[in-house]
Every structure is written in structure tokens, then in C-alpha cells.
Amino acid sequence: MDTRVAVISIIVEDDSSTAQINELLSGFSDYVIGRMGVPYKERNVRLISVAVDAPQDKIAALSGKIGSLSGVSVKTAYASI
């Protein structure tokens, strides 16, 4: 199965969604290369970057599920390789 390398960028404005994000990322842990979270207290947001290597449908499913959470924005960028 072909996989793609991508970075999923997540901005969390509603703390109540944090546990659900972590649960979703744990469910896709086989595809996660690494992740970094930065709390930006001055603006009351959390910034999360997740590097993945996964089939296109798995990346889209993860991004879609996270993006459907309250107070969460998601964008995905794909590598050209």
C-alpha cells in the first residue's frame, strides 16, 4: 500500500477538545513519525504539529476527525515524494 508523508497542523482554541485529540492521535500511532505541541499562553491557544507517513485515506480520516472537534482548526500539507 502506498503511503504519503504529511504534516498535520492543529490549532486548539477550546481546551475541552484536547483529550479527544490525544485519543485520536493514539489511535493512529502506527502512522505518526513525531509530534510537537506548543502552548501559547499569551493567546490562549495550543499549536500542534504531527508528522505522519500513512495511506492517503488514513491521513484524510485523521485530519477530518480532528477538524470536526469544537474549537479546533486543521490543515494538512503533503510532501511531493
* Residue 25: other Cβ atoms inside 10 A: 19
Which DSSP symbol is given to 43? G
Domains along the chain with CATH numbers:
4-78 (3.30.70.1150)
State how far the Cα of 19 lies from the Cα of 32, in Å rounded to an integer: 17
Mean pLDDT, the chain, whole residue set: 96
Q: Number of H helices and number of E strands within the chain?
A: 2, 4
Report pLDDT for 81: 82
Residue appearing with cell numbers 486543521: 74
For 65, the enclosing helix (H) or strand (E) is helix 56-67
pTM above 0.75, yes or no: yes
Q: What is the mean pLDDT of residues 18-43?
A: 97
Instruction: State the amino acid at position 67 in one-letter form.
Output: G
Beta bridge partners of 26: none
